[in-house]
């Protein structure tokens, strides 16, 4: 490891996300020190296909919308979330704020 790349940094944080919780691209970016690096997180997630150990399905946008569910292959993302206790309605996380997990706050 010790790639020291933004990708790995993001991967580590995403892997720290507990089951039944979801985080946002902005939260991860903020934790890494990137204020508006949300796009970078999305980019890293795109490469997450190389790491099946990364629960990218727990990462949603600030509106709680499963932006990447389309990339997972249909209902895979919402199904994984539902299996962990996170209900998804209309591609959006139910009680999103309640399930929201922010590294900068929880890992504080």
Partner DNA sequence: AGCGTGACGTGTA
Partner DNA sequence: GTACACGCCACGC
* Site for DNA, rule CB under 7 A: 5-7, 24-26, 34-43, 45-46, 48-49, 56-57, 59, 61-63, 67-68, 70-72
12 Cβ partners below 8 Å, 6+ apart? none
CB 57, min distance to DNA, A: 7
What is the Cα–Cα distance from 5 to 40, expressed in whole angstroms? 11
DSSP state of 48: G
For the CB of residue 42, give the shortest distance to DNA in the complex, in Å.
Answer: 3
- Token output for 94: 């139910």
Q: CB-wise, 3 or 108, nearer to DNA?
A: 3
Element (H, E) at 60: strand 59-60
CB of 36 to DNA, least distance (A): 4
Structural element, H or E, at residue 97: helix 96-99
Closest separation in Å from C-beta 85 to DNA:
19
CB-count exposure of residue 65 (10 Å: 0-12, 13-18, 19+): middle
If the CB atoms of residues 63 and 85 are measured against DNA, the closer one turns out to be 63
Nearer to DNA, 71 or 94 (CB): 71
Residue nearer to DNA on the CB measure, 42 or 103: 42
């Amino acid at each position: 490891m010790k790639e020291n790349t933004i990708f790995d940094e993001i991967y580590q944080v995403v892997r720290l996300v507990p089951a039944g919780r979801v985080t946002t691209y902005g939260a991860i970016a903020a934790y890494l020190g990137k204020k508006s690096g949300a796009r970078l997180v999305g980019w890293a997630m795109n490469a997450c296909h190389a790491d099946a150990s990364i629960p990218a399905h727990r990462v949603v946008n600030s509106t709680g919308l499963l932006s990447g569910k389309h990339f997972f292959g249909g209902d895979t993302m919402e199904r994984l979330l539902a299996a962990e206790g996170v209900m998804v309605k209309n591609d959006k996380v139910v009680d999103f704020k309640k399930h929201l997990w922010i590294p900068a706050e929880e890992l504080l």
